[in-house]
Amino acid sequence: RSDIDLIILAVPPKVQIEILNYNLKFKKKKIFEKPISNNINLSKNIIRMIKRKKIKSNINLTFLNHQLFIKTRNIIKKQKLGKILNFKILWSFRSFDLDKKIKSWKTIENQGGGIKNIFLTHVFSYCEFFFGNCKITNYEYKISNFKGIDYKRKISCSIKNQDGSTGKIRLFAKKKGVQEHKITIKFEKGQIQLFTKSKDWTKNFVLKIHNEISKKRKTIKSKNLSKFKDGRSNQIFIMLKNFLKKKHHSNID
**Distance (Å, whole) CA 88 – CA 163:** 16
Mean pLDDT for 93-102 is 83
Query: What confidence tens digit (pLDDT) does each residue in 137-184 have?
Result: 999 999 888 777 788 889 999 999 999 999 999 999 888 889 999 999
Closest C-alpha to 9, from 29, 27, 28, 31: 31
**Distance (Å, whole) CA 123 – CA 121:** 5
Closest C-alpha to 232, from 26, 28, 69: 69
Closest C-alpha to 112, from 8, 183, 246: 8
Q: Taking 60 as the threshold, does the pLDDT of residue 17 lie above it?
A: yes
Query: What confidence tens digit (pLDDT) does each residue in 236-251 have?
Result: 888 888 888 888 888 8
Provide the percentage of residues in the chain whose pLDDT is more than 70. Answer: 91
Please state the pTM of the whole predicted model: 0.87
Q: Which residues is 192 bridged to in the sheet? A: 185, 209
Mean pLDDT over all residues of the chain? 86
CA atoms within 13 A on the CB side of 20: 25
Residue 78 — pLDDT band, cuts 50, 70, 90?
very high
Mean pLDDT for 174-200 is 94
The alpha-helical segments, DSSP class H, found in 78-120 are 96-99, 114-115
Q: Taking 80 as the threshold, does the pLDDT of residue 93 lie above it?
A: yes
Provide the percentage of residues in the chain whose pLDDT is more than 90. Answer: 45
Mean pLDDT for 103-123 is 86
188 versus 174: the higher-pLDDT residue is: 188
Cα torsion 191, 196, 201, 202: sign: negative
Query: What confidence tens digit (pLDDT) does each residue in 27-71 have?
Result: 778 888 887 777 788 888 888 888 888 888 888 899 999 999 999
Looking at residue 102, its pLDDT comes to 81
Q: Taking 60 as the threshold, does the pLDDT of residue 6 lie above it?
A: no
